[in-house]
Amino acid sequence: MNLEKALLELVLPIVSDKQSVSVKEMTSLNENEILLYVYAKSEDVARLIGRQGSMATALRNVMAIATRVENKRISIKFEAY
């Protein structure tokens, strides 16, 4: 299962500059954790996080469903450049 591609498919409709968005999987210190970074422009990161983190929470909840099969936790970080 390609979690990077799945997360990218979820965030693309939300952002305004679709060319500048990328998702990278990083190695985590915890082997039971999958760490994904979403890189986007700062205004798009603000849109992805949402008011009081509501959009970020929704994205994390959707992605958490995909990792339950493997018994792993998912962490999604948002980075602006």
- Condensed to tens digits (0 to 9), the pLDDT of residues 45-77 reads 999 999 999 999 999 999 999 888 889 999 999
Centre a 10 Å sphere on the Cβ of residue 35 and count the other Cβ atoms it contains.
16
| 68/72 Cα distance (integer angstroms) | 6
- Sheet strands side by side (includes 33-40): 22-26, 33-40, 73-80
pLDDT at residue number 1: 56
Helix or strand run (H / E) with residue 1: none
CA angle 40, 38, 7 (to 5 degrees): 120
Domains of the chain, CATH where assigned: 3-80 (3.30.300.20)
pLDDT at residue number 15: 95
pTM, two decimal places: 0.90
- Condensed to tens digits (0 to 9), the pLDDT of residues 6-29 reads 999 999 999 999 999 999 999 989
Please give the structure tokens belonging to residue 12. Answer: 């693309």
> Per-residue pLDDT for 41 more than 90?
yes
